Amino acid sequence: MENTLKTGTTTVGLVAQDAIVFAADKRASFGHLAYDEESKKIYKITDHIALTTAGSVGDILTILRFAKSQAKLFEIERETKMTPHALVNLLSNVLNANRYYPFGIQFIIGGVNKETELFELTPDGGVLKRDKFAISGSGTELVMSVLDQHYKEKMSESEAIELAVRAVSAAKKRDLFSGGKSVSVMVVDRKGVRELKQSEIDSIIEKNESA
């Protein structure tokens, strides 16, 4: 039997009132090893689309390069921005075409078109539209427990950020394959994509721990 090394992560996407909030842990695991404690797992694709990653790093980087180049080409050829739904459909076709030799990845993709859009994308190209939140990685059950209890519709951006950090922190505490030095957070709203500074995240973590 072929031996495989387990990799793990925890990423989440939340639908806020006028934004999509992404959060992820920073540990890259390799079998029983905590291989990297400052791994990047949230990426900007365009000025209005971002995604979280889980799975094989090599496969992730391959699809990321493809997604960024195709989004840029789309905007040049059509003179309009690519929507999150359009990007998801494109990547779904690519992944499904390779379903017999699948990429070992899972993406949460979201952004702002006329309204907020959030999707999960499976390794074989399955697309799941999410109206509240999306979760990926080995910490899924722990994150789902937090979000089921505390998520509410039409959350403000700041409320969604606090909840996303709280959910990922819960997975970091109990999931062996999630961890890292802190939590990464990226927000997509009508102004564009921004990544929170470490000082902002540290303040939120401290607030959650003292609550």
Range of the domain at 157: 10-210
Q: Calculate what percentage of the chain has a pLDDT beyond 90.
A: 75
Length of the chain, in residues: 211
Q: How many domains does the chain have?
A: 1
Q: Share the mean pLDDT of the chain.
A: 90
* pLDDT over 50 at 29, yes or no: yes
Residue 2: inside a domain:
no
Residue 3: inside a domain:
no
* Arithmetic mean of pLDDT, 84-98: 96
pLDDT in tens, 43-59: 999 999 999 999 888 99
What is the pTM for the complete model shown? 0.91
CATH of residue 110's domain is 3.60.20.10
Active site residues: 9
Residue 28 CA to its chain's centroid (Å): 15
Cβ pair 20, 50 in contact under 8 A: yes
* pLDDT over 80 at 183, yes or no: yes
Alpha-carbon distance of 64 to 42, in angstroms, equals 11
* pLDDT over 50 at 6, yes or no: no
pLDDT of residue 173: 86
